[in-house]
């Protein structure tokens, strides 16, 4: 009897049945094929216009789709097929193909001619680290990976080498092993524009002596040549657009100290070396010094650094000798005024600048001066970075930064997890080019957006989860269960402004590699422009933690209506070859 049972389990384990098309798909096929067994290109065109929202689809567009589907499904006998129509199975295959029927556009479609401050920009933090913040190797490889993913802001921490005659990139006052600056710069030059033509900003955290700054200037000019953007004047009065800066490299850092005192900067920064016990103190007692990561002293870190302070102070007397070339290359000035939060968020008439705040500093600023932050980001650049205690390279929720207009929400790109999935989702928008136009309401200077205000529902999104497929191709047969097919369920929800945040889940579908759920969810959205649709598939496990079966985040503003194939990604954000869901999106 026992062996018979094993045999049943064994046969069950390898049974993969092809799921029937969901009832909606069958109904649409019957309706548009006008009761026939085959759908012509013209009938498909009508379906694309009515259901999928392709008002401008032509019959030749539909003919091309029919041809692609037949080629893909019947490539082994393609030459023998003379028909130019789709069966129900062909139609279902088309709808369930992530290549032919994706959920969002893959083209740049937003206006790219507004100033840089009008865009969210895909931003990395400590872009050179391979792992954790304290002891991982520094390398040019994570920089290449980030650029290939579409990241447009790369951060490099510059420190003198042990002989003080060259420049290394490393996370200061930690055990991270350094990488040479020249290696990082060459990697940036080589890969900056493989994924996107829009500008790459290099933010430098500079702990260098004047002679090493001069060396960096030469290295930047020698490496990037004409790619390097050199501003005409000492500082921008208004930022150029991503379109104007295509294929250019922009340097952003704090100008050397004596330079801060000239006419371009309206407030002195004498207290560069003052140290706070923690970032909390820095915000607690206004007016006080703002926490600013891009300082000679990196206040984002909590470890002691007295020896470094001595080194920096000894070199301050040489600041005047710092050659002009380094200053000239800084296109986007970073820096903090000496004073409280109100001072930091002042919008100046004749110049723009970049301010950096830790995630906690932003939270406090949002609490007490939310609309001031939004007003500041309409013209200036705000960079938010992870708190120094995130030693394991984890990340924070990016939405608070985006709600307040922060362009550079800086993330540890190696810190895999739900926060990074949201970051990936946001920057799937606008063809994945790394620049996403901020919503109009965040840029409205007549009525400054108050993220704490109660908002009315602007739009309702209906999401139907039909079915899933592809796990049997991308996972081992025994990955989820040793003796039976998996029990999948899907979690569907919204990340966005607090009032829009929600997570729902389908029932679990037992023992099925191609689960069919056919469940619908309704999401009333107050700020659809900032909403991300979160999708996760898990496999129910009675005795342990549920297994992970894939995830994706999609910008709601980019969703294409109708029935779509939604490809899923692994925990690190790498796309599975075959795993996908069939879903429907409808706006009311």
Task: Tell me the C-alpha to C-alpha distance, in Å, between residue 359 and each of 131, 153, 280, 347, 384.
Answer: 20, 17, 11, 21, 6
Strands of the 575-587 sheet, one edge to the other: 502-505, 488-495, 532-539, 547-555, 562-569, 575-587, 459-469, 516-525
257 Cβ neighbours under 8 A, 6+ residues apart: 269, 272, 296, 316, 319
Are the beta carbons of 67 and 112 closer than 8 angstroms?
no
Q: 125 catalytic, yes or no?
A: yes
Tokens (6 digits) for 298: 């990196």
E strand or H helix at 552, and its extent?
strand 547-555
The number of beta carbons lying within 10 Å of the beta carbon of residue 62 is 23
Structure letter (DSSP) for residue 330: E
SS3 393: coil
Question: Rounded CA gap, 301 and 131, in Å?
Answer: 17
173 Cβ neighbours under 8 A, 6+ residues apart: 298, 301, 303, 305, 308
Q: 472 catalytic, yes or no?
A: no
The residue from 171, 207, 472, 538 that is catalytic is: 171
Listed in sequence order, the DSSP H helices in 274-428 are 279-284, 306-316, 324-329, 341-344, 359-379, 399-403, 418-426
- Of 352, 329, 114, the residue nearest 236 (C-alpha): 352
Instruction: Please report where in the chains the tokens 């996972």 appear, as a residue.
Output: 475
Tokens (6 digits) for 279: 């970032």
- Of 342, 233, 335, 330, the residue nearest 283 (C-alpha): 342
Question: Rounded CA gap, 293 and 205, in Å?
Answer: 8
User: What count of residues does the chain have?
Assistant: 588
The residue from 92, 125, 207, 369 that is catalytic is: 125
SS3 354: strand
Catalytically annotated residues: 125, 171
């Amino acid at each position: 009897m026992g062996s018979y049972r094993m045999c049943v389990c064994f046969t069950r384990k390898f049974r993969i049945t092809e799921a029937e098309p969901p009832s909606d798909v069958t109904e649409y096929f019957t309706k548009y094929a006008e009761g026939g067994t085959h759908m012509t290109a013209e009938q498909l065109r009508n379906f694309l216009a009515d259901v999928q929202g392709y008002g401008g689809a032509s019959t030749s567009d539909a003919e091309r789709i029919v041809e692609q589907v037949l080629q893909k499904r019947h490539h082994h006998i393609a030459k023998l097929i003379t028909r130019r129509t789709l069966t129900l199975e062909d139609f279902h295959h088309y709808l369930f193909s992530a290549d032919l029927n994706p959920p969002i556009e893959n083209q740049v479609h937003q206006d790219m001619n507004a100033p840089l401050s009008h865009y969210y920009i895909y931003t990395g933090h400590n872009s050179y680290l391979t792992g954790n913040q304290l002891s991982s190797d520094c390398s040019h490889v994570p920089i290449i990976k980030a650029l290939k993913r579409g990241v447009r802001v790369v951060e490099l921490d510059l420190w003198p080498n042990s002989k003080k005659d060259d420049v290394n990139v490393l996370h200061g006052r930690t055990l991270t092993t350094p990488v040479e600056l020249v290696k990082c710069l060459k990697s940036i030059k080589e890969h900056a524009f493989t994924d996107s033509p829009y500008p790459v900003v290099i933010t430098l955290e500079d702990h260098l002596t004047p002679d090493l700054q001069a060396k960096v200037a030469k290295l930047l000019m020698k490496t990037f040549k004409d790619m390097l953007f050199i501003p005409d004047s000492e500082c921008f009065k208004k930022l150029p657009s991503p379109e104007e800066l295509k294929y250019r490299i922009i340097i952003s850092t704090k100008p050397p100290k004596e330079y801060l005192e000239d006419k371009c900067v309206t407030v002195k920064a004498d207290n560069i070396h003052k140290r706070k016990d923690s970032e909390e103190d820095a915000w607690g007692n206004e007016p006080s010094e703002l926490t600013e990561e891009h300082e000679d002293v990196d206040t984002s870190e909590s470890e002691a650094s007295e020896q470094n302070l001595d080194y920096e102070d000894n070199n301050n007397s040489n600041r005047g000798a710092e050659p002009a070339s380094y200053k000239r290359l800084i296109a986007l000035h970073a820096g903090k005024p000496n004073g409280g939060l109100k001072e930091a968020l002042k919008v100046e008439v004749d110049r723009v600048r970049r301010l950096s705040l830790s995630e906690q500093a932003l939270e406090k600023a949002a609490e007490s001066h939310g609309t001031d932050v939004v007003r500041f980001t309409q013209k200036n650049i705000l960079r938010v970075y992870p708190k120094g205690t995130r030693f394991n390279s984890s990340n924070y929720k990016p939405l608070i930064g985006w709600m307040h207009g922060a362009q550079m929400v800086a993330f540890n790109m190696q810190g895999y997890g739900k926060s990074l999935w949201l970051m990936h989702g946001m920057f799937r928008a606008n063809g994945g080019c790394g620049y996403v136009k901020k919503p109009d309401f965040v840029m409205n200077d007549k009525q400054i957006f108050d993220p704490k205000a109660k908002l009315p529902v602007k739009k309702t999104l209906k999401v139907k989860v039909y079915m899933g497929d592809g796990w049997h191709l991308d996972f081992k047969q025994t990955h989820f269960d040793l003796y039976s097919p998996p029990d999948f369920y899907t979690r569907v929800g919204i990340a966005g402004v607090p009032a829009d945040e929600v997570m729902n889940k389908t029932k679990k579908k037992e023992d099925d590699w191609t689960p069919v759920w056919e469940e619908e969810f309704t999401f009333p959205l107050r700020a659809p422009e900032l909403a991300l649709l979160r999708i996760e598939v898990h496999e129910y496990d009675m005795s342990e933690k549920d297994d992970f079966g894939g995830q994706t985040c999609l910008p709601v503003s980019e969703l294409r209506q109708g029935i779509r194939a939604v490809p899923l990604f692994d925990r690190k954000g790498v796309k599975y070859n075959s795993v996908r869901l069939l879903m429907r999106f409808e706006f009311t």
